Structure 1
Amino acid sequence: MMRSGADNHGKWVEPVTVQIGRRAPEKIQTSAEALLFLTNKWPCERGLEYQTSRDICSAAIRRQIGNDAARASFVVAASVAKLII
């Protein structure tokens, strides 16, 4: 089982802070939180980076891939969407 990039509770080594417009910033700390954000709060086009991150976060939750890969893919998607602060 690959668990690199996470502690025993699945938290990422470093959270990713995102912000939609003027809303309060949100700290995304796990693959599950990232998947919920991608599914329920994503304000932008759901392009390739979005789809890739959604797939990788889902695989990380199922422990098929490491949480570090999920975090990296979420950072890419959020950066392309200009949500990283």
Structure 2
Amino acid sequence: MAVGWSRDGAVQDQIDATVESAVQLAKSRLPAGESRTHCEECEAAIPEARRKAMPGVRYCVSCQSELEKRLKADAPFNRRGSKDSQLK
């Protein structure tokens, strides 16, 4: 594939680096360590089943959902793109 002044395989290297970056970001957001018994945000009790299912959990389900919504809204751009944008 002709890609201008870049060397062969540079496009694939960029794709691999983007994927690796996304994986590292996801890993950094995983909870670790001892689970909390009460939510850091609202102080509601975190059920034992949730603590066992997700070691290192710090938030109740409600607060965790809100946190994930805010993180998603703060994303600088859409990495996925649509089929339409890929065809243009």
Task: Tell whether the structures are fold-level matches, with TM greater than 0.5.
Answer: no
For Structure 1 versus Structure 2, the TM-score category normalised by the shorter chain is: under 0.3
* TM-score, normalising length: structure 1: 0.27
* TM-score, normalising length: structure 2: 0.26
Question: Which one has a bigger Cα radius of gyration?
Answer: 2
User: More strand by proportion, 1 or 2?
Assistant: 1
